[in-house]
Amino acid sequence: MTAINNKGRDSGKSATLKTTTGNKSKPTARKEQDMSAQAQRLRVLEFLRASPQTTYSLRAHGISHPAQRVRELIYIDGYLINSDPVVAVDSDGYRHSRVALYSLGGEPDTRDLFDMEVA
C-alpha cells in the first residue's frame, strides 16, 4: 500500500508520463529523436506555428522544459512569443490555474541589411 500525499495522489505516482525504459539494448522500431535544446526549440516552433500550445501540450510532444525553450526562442533567437495564463488539465486529470498558453506573435527579421536596396 502506498502513502497518499496531501494532494490525494499516490506518493509513488508521477504527474507526467513515463517516457524511458530501463533496457536500452533492445532495438526500437522508431528512430531515436534528437533531444538537444536546439532540436526541442525547433519542435516548439513547429507546434507554435500550427496553433497555440500550453505547457502540458508541449510536454506531451516531448519538450522536457517548455518554459526554458520558449525563453531561449525569445532571448536567443529573437521570436515574439506571447504567454497568457489559462486553466489546463494535466495528464492525471487535475485542473491547474495559470498554466502558460504560448502563441507565436512574430518571427525575427532575418533580412540582411547590407543587401537591401536604398529607396
Determine the pLDDT at residue 27.
Answer: 47
Residue 109: predicted pLDDT: 83
pLDDT for 43-93, tens place per residue?
Answer: 999 999 999 999 999 999 999 999 999 999 999 999 999 999 999 998 889
The pLDDT of residue 90 is 86
Q: Is the pLDDT of residue 18 over 60?
A: no
pTM, rounded to two decimals: 0.66
Can you give the three-state secondary structure of the chain, one letter per residue? CCCECCCCCECCCCCCCCCCCCCCCCCCCCCCCCCCHHHHHHHHHHHHHHCCEEHHHHHHCCCCCHHHHHHHHHHCCCCEEEEEEEEEECCCCCEEEEEEEEEEEECCCCCCCCCCCCC
Residue 30: pLDDT over 70: no
